[in-house]
Structure 1
Amino acid sequence: MIRSEKARRRTVAAAQLLGVAAVYYLSGRLGLLRRVEAYQSVVTPLWPPTGVALAALLQFGGRIWPGIALGALFTTLSISGSFSPLGIGILAGNTLSPLCAYLALRAVGFREELDRLRDGLALVFLGAFAGMLISSTLGSITLVVTEKLPPERFWPIWACWWAGDVMGVLVVTPMLLVLRRARMPRVTDRWLEAAGLFVVVTGATILATTSTLAMLYVVFPVLIWAALRFQLPGSAPCALLVSVVAVVAATHRIGPFQGHAVLEVMLNLAVLNGSVTLTSLLLSAVITEQQDIRREMEHACTELAELVEELTPRSSARARRPAAGGRVAAVRPDAG
């Protein structure tokens, strides 16, 4: 019995590792569909595997890192065709970066529900901004050391690499955390409002990313609507939709991205996606935290009311009941 239980656990662990590696690889292939050439190097405006890796670590713990390394290995081989010193540096960066981000989030008590403002801030600044410094730095240094990149082009490539990895965490990780808690829809859900939100966010995103009139700001009222009414389950898909459509427009150099250099396009796209994600993520966390506080206060008031109701009849009964000393004092004068 003990051996069978150990075998079952090993089988489940192996299946989880292979599953994470497969999802990492597939998300990498999707990210490479919109890659751009910058200074003889391949960069991606949005790199989904970083979000997949961090979400997997938050779900399964640090033991899942070999699956991330395996997925990174397959993705690197699909790009370069062979394993080289360049691949070793990229593999190390893509594995260490989400692992360090995970450890930093655990150190500050991060909760996967993202129901507190501190959780949203931790994911943004520790999980994305700080954590992805490792992958972009190791990758760019490896390119310079292997003479694939001139030293003077280090910082532009580093900035593009870092922005793509950050966007993967900010866009993909919240979405995967939402899917983990997904449930079957109910009849009482706000279907009509959700459908209207989807239509509006789609139209606003297409308008913002295809118009040459610099109308990117029109997506933010819709994101605020999603966060206020549906919190993270509504704002995370909207942010993902906006980011994906923006990446497609940027790689095709249409709309507000027309006529700009590669680095300018990447920076503008990173600012847009970062602003979109920060708006949806942090506002959703604030609304959820306020709703939780209100529910706790309502629950406390209900318990207090029940306690008062239990104590009130007993107090009234004691008040109506005459004291024994009073009865004796009333009888003694008659007896005299």
Structure 2
Amino acid sequence: MLRIPVIFRQHKSIWKTCINCLGIAIVAAGYYGLAEICRHLASTPQDVTPVWFPDGFASAAILLFGDRLLLGVLIGSFLANIWAFLKTDTTLHLLQSIAQVMIIAIGTTTGIGLGSYLLRRAIGRESPLRNFRNVAQFFGFTALMGTMVNATAGVTALCLGGTIAWSGYPNVWLTWWVSNVTGIFVLTPTLLSWSEITRYKLIHFYRKTKPLHLFEALVMLFTVVAIAQISFAGNYPIEYLIIPCLVWVTFRFGHFAATNLILLIAIIAIVGTLKGSGSFARDNINESLLLLQSFIVATVSFTLILSGTINEQRRNSNHLKKSQIELLQKSQLLTESNQELIQAKQLAESANRSKSHFLTSMSHELRTPLNAIIGVTQLLQEEESNLPQQKEDLQIIYNAGFHLLALIEDILDISKIEAGKMEIQPMDCQFLQLLQGVSESFRVLANKKGIDLICKFTPDLPQIVHTDAKRLRQILFNLLGNALKFTDKGSVTFEVSKITNQELIVDLVSSVHINTITCSSHTIAPTSEVVYVLFAITDTGVGIDSEKMSKIFLPFEQVGENKFKSQGTGLGLAISQKIAQFLGGEINVTSELGVGSCFNLRLPFEVVEPMSYGEIDHDTHEYLLSGNSAQAINSHHGFDTKLAQKYPLKILLAEDNLVNQKVASRMFQRLGYIVDIANNGLEVIEMLRSRTYDLVFMDIQMPVMDGLEATAKILEEWNFAMRPRIIAMTANAMPSDREQCLAAGMDDFLSKPIQIENLIAAIKRSQVHVLL
């Protein structure tokens, strides 16, 4: 079984050797046969023909089949020259003539091999007729450089053998070289073009060729042959008419027809010139041959360059058409993909709009009952007859209502963040006052749990900063609220300090957000003084498991104990981190399970009024909010029963919900006001026409005519001095709702649930307008 492959390889090797030997024999026979044909046409004393076709045949063979046939060239060249230069009169002359012929054969083989090698190194396996570049390199390497070696070796051998004198070396060398060049120019392209014709191409040509096309080819062949006969066999110098015919043939039929036609023209021109007729016939045969060779070389060069250029342009055109088709197909695919993307985008936008609409609607619907719950709770808390247990119960209801309101706000915030609609609204604010207000808000909770709430504010903090105070307060409330929620004993420390330059450099290296002092709607001016502040909230609570640390800033993730998971949605830290990034900073956390946690918030602030550090009290503001260190917070909400006496106003309430009407009426009554009620915007207009009011508290969503339409109608009928001040009082609590109300011409905005403090502030603000 193992012998079969070995035998098969042996047979294959023998077969390959036989094929190579056959190729060498064919090349040798072809070279010798063409040499004999050319020698019969020789007219020079040196027995050199005007066109040496054997070199053209040999060059084509080596270019097509490789260097393994060079032995055939050597044998053919030796046989072609031995009979011309062999001297048998003496043994010495015999050996000299054999050596001379061998030098000629070696020069011919070396020149053809060198030219083919250089050309293949330059163009690879491409056809020499493929394009202009290949044609030019074929002329340079094969037809010009290779033949120089051939001519030099041949003429040198003749001079060494005494066949010609050294004084005639230049003329003989030029004649020999041009003869070889002309042979390669004429015959090699023809044979190369024949090699490109395959059975498939012949069948394709036969099927595609129309009778009219074939007739055109025969007419051109007849025309060119007739012109050549007249030019080179007659006495009419019209050989220049061949050029346009060759151009036509090249454009219409390609380089195959052009190269074969050139070969036919060259044979006619050679025969006619050697017979002494035609345009190139001169008394000096060398001059005639030079003119003939120049004509042939020029004609071939022009035709092949034109053919190569046309082929290249056609290929480029075909490639361009193919590319255009592919591009069109890809464009169609991209168009389809774009359509799918557009549809997907439209679906996503529709879903996002539906989500936003749903959240807005739910926010409105949830705020409406909350308004009643929180409003009635505030009224009941003012009753003096309440027992301590009743007051505590009412406080629980009030806190639960605002906890539910906070959950609604969180859901809206995370929705806006996901939709990329989170807005930052910076303003000037008292920094220390903001910090004290935040810490004061958690005093009751710290007292209730028996936890020390320690606040430390360094004296070098800026007094007034330009930032979004609402969003900063939201972050701090989340962080402090979490710290107190997860701490049952010990303390919670709230430290705020200015970051030094050295600490800032470390933070810049370790953080990707701290240097981003931009947000969606606010950019800190590069010329402003910017300080970086560190907020550190440290607790002695339950701590966070290291495996869960990566999840604490993800939405809806709660990593604490089960007993705490019912106290929130898991959105607080996710929202706080996003807001911190919008403000140009970030939140980091370190924690140890059972020991406690430390949340660090780093934020840049634009200082509005830089502090004069010489006037700073260098003692750190530190105080304790726990136990007996502070008075218990007053649960009352500040109902001023004499407010109507201080600010006597006629008030109209536009509200379609019966429960909200009752709650608002009782709030106004507690403040000393008797209000009229309109159930919709149309009733508001009718009541304003019959009576004068100072204030209109306008709901937005009402039947018949909503609040925005009613406001537009009021602005249209009454001028500024005569119309009442309009305050929006609505469950639509989105920032866009506030902007929409103010843009419609309303003077102020209150969102439900209504807090009595905000209601009183709005009444006081309206007094300025009434006095005017």
Say yes or no: TM over 0.5.
yes
Q: Which residue of 2 aligns with 1:71?
A: 76
Alpha-carbon offset, residue 152 of structure 1 = 2.2
Matched to 1:193, the amino acid is E
Aligned to 2:130, the other structure's residue is in SS state coil
Do the aligned residues in 2 keep the contact of 1:65 with 1:99 (CA within 8 Å)?
A: yes
Residues 278-327 of structure 1, C-alpha deviation per residue, up to 9 Å, x if partnerless? 01111100100111111111111111111111122232233244222112
The number of aligned residues is 334
Do the aligned residues in 2 keep the contact of 1:114 with 1:285 (CA within 8 Å)?
A: yes
Alpha-carbon offset, residue 138 of structure 1 = 1.5
Do the aligned residues in 2 keep the contact of 1:209 with 1:245 (CA within 8 Å)?
A: yes
Structure 2: distance between partners of 1:225 and 1:33: 34
Residues 178-207 of structure 1, C-alpha deviation per residue, up to 9 Å, x if partnerless? 111113241322312221221111111112
Residues 226-251 of structure 1, C-alpha deviation per residue, up to 9 Å, x if partnerless? 22222211210111111111110111
Q: Percent identity?
A: 22
Structure 1: distance between partners of 2:177 and 2:292: 13
Do the aligned residues in 2 keep the contact of 1:116 with 1:289 (CA within 8 Å)?
A: yes
Alignment of 1:139-288 (within 5 A): 139-183=154-198, 184=202, 185-189=205-209, 190-288=213-311
* TM-score normalized by the length of structure 1: 0.94
Which stretch has the larger CA shift, 290-299 or 102-111? 102-111
Matched to 2:103, the amino acid is G
Which stretch has the larger CA shift, 77-86 or 4-13? 77-86
Do the aligned residues in 1 keep the contact of 2:34 with 2:53 (CA within 8 Å)?
A: yes
Structure 1: distance between partners of 2:27 and 2:98: 24
Q: Which residue of 2 aligns with 1:29?
A: 36
1:132 matched to 2:147? The reply is yes
Alpha-carbon offset, residue 277 of structure 1 = 0.6
Structure 1: distance between partners of 2:340 and 2:152: 76
Q: Which residue of 2 aligns with 1:108?
A: 122
Structure 1: distance between partners of 2:336 and 2:144: 60
1:9 matched to 2:16? The reply is yes
Aligned to 1:131, the other structure's residue is in SS state helix
In structure 1, the gaps of 5 or more residues are none
RMSD: 1.8
Alpha-carbon offset, residue 334 of structure 1 = 5.8
Structure 2: distance between partners of 1:126 and 1:180: 20
Which stretch has the larger CA shift, 20-29 or 326-335? 326-335
Aligned to 2:207, the other structure's residue is in SS state coil
Structure 2: distance between partners of 1:193 and 1:213: 25
* Correspondence for 1:327 among 326, 340, 354: 354
Structure 2: distance between partners of 1:318 and 1:327: 19
Q: Which residue of 1 aligns with 2:54?
A: 49
Structure 1: distance between partners of 2:68 and 2:117: 12
Structure 2: distance between partners of 1:26 and 1:32: 10
Higher helix proportion: 1
Residues 119-169 of structure 1, C-alpha deviation per residue, up to 9 Å, x if partnerless? 111111221122111111111121111111122222222111111100111
Structure 2: distance between partners of 1:122 and 1:317: 52
Structure 2: distance between partners of 1:240 and 1:213: 21
Structure 1: distance between partners of 2:60 and 2:337: 55
Alpha-carbon offset, residue 112 of structure 1 = 2.1
Structure 1: distance between partners of 2:166 and 2:129: 40
In structure 2, the gaps of 5 or more residues are 1-7, 88-96, 366-772
Do the aligned residues in 1 keep the contact of 2:230 with 2:236 (CA within 8 Å)?
A: no
Alpha-carbon offset, residue 113 of structure 1 = 4.9
Alignment of 1:111-122 (within 5 A): 111-122=126-137
